[in-house]
Amino acid sequence: MKKYKKTIQEINLLIDDYLETSEISKYSLQENSSTIYLDLRDQQIYQEYSGNRILNEGIFTYIEKAYSYTKRNATLNLKILFPEQMNIEEQESIKKMIQIHYAVELQETNLAILRTNIKGTISLGIGAILFFVFGLLEWYHVNFIFQGIIEIFSWVFIWEACDSYAFTNSANRISRFRYFKLYQASKN
């Protein structure tokens, strides 16, 4: 157990050193804010064949990867370094595309949470009805061959509801928080 704790401490120190070394990182951490620097000066900005209408997926991959190194409680900023020859209209268009991307991701995550809640409610309702039927069969001592199957199915539906509410929604809420922070950062 001591080796495990020592290894965790080494990992934490390694990450802290990495975050504090500005030569290595493309993002910076300050006391009350975190900034992700997106350098587009020597990169392919648009997806091939998109006619400059769709940003390269690598941009979003980088932003989300860099986000994992930022402070959760701090204000998140996104600083974009554009090529010198790029005009202001195109710069604003790129900023708008990034903002729209995270707005869509946030909206999709909200819909996923809603779908999970509906699925959980339906599963809970079916499980409760099946459990009620099982209880009635037990109460009236009805010897029904599928009575055990009804009990199993009721617990399966109830477990599915618990899984939806507790675990799936937790992951969706974490994603929603991340996309909210990235959307807010893209507005600045």
What are 60-106's pLDDT values in tens digits? 999 999 898 887 788 899 999 999 999 999 999 999 999 999 999 99
- Number of helices (H), then strands (E), belonging to the chain: the values are 5, 3
- The number of beta carbons lying within 10 Å of the beta carbon of residue 154 is 20
Residue 88 parent element (H or E): helix 88-139
Sign, CA torsion 68/69/72/75: negative
The confidence score (pLDDT) of residue 21 equals 65
The confidence score (pLDDT) of residue 31 equals 66
**CB of 26 closer than 8 Å to CB of 37:** yes
Please state the φ and ψ torsions of residue 79, each to the nearest 5 degrees.
-105, 125
**CB of 83 closer than 8 Å to CB of 47:** no
Question: Is the pLDDT confidence value at 25 over 50?
Answer: no
Please state the φ and ψ torsions of residue 16, each to the nearest 5 degrees.
-60, -45
* All residues at 6 or more sequence positions from 169 whose CB lies less than 8 Å from its CB, including other chains: 113, 116, 117, 120
pLDDT confidence bin for 24, thresholds 50/70/90 = very low
Does 10 or 180 have the greater pLDDT score?
A: 180
**CB of 75 closer than 8 Å to CB of 34:** yes
The confidence score (pLDDT) of residue 17 equals 74
Q: Where are the domains positioned within the chain?
A: 1-86, 88-188
Biggest CA pair distance of the chain: 83
The confidence score (pLDDT) of residue 33 equals 82
Tell me the pTM. Answer: 0.80
The confidence score (pLDDT) of residue 71 equals 78
170-176-177-183 Cα dihedral, nearest 10 degrees: 170
- At 43 the three-state DSSP class reads coil
Q: Which of 13-27, 105-119, 149-163 has the lowest mean pLDDT?
A: 13-27
Percent of the chain topping pLDDT 70: 93
Q: CA nearest 33: which of 92, 80, 79?
A: 79
The confidence score (pLDDT) of residue 23 equals 44
Q: Is 56 left (phi over 0), alpha (psi -120 to 50) or beta?
A: beta
User: How do residues 42-73 score in pLDDT, each as one tens digit?
Assistant: 989 999 998 888 999 999 999 999 898 887 78
Residue recorded with tokens 């899984």: 163
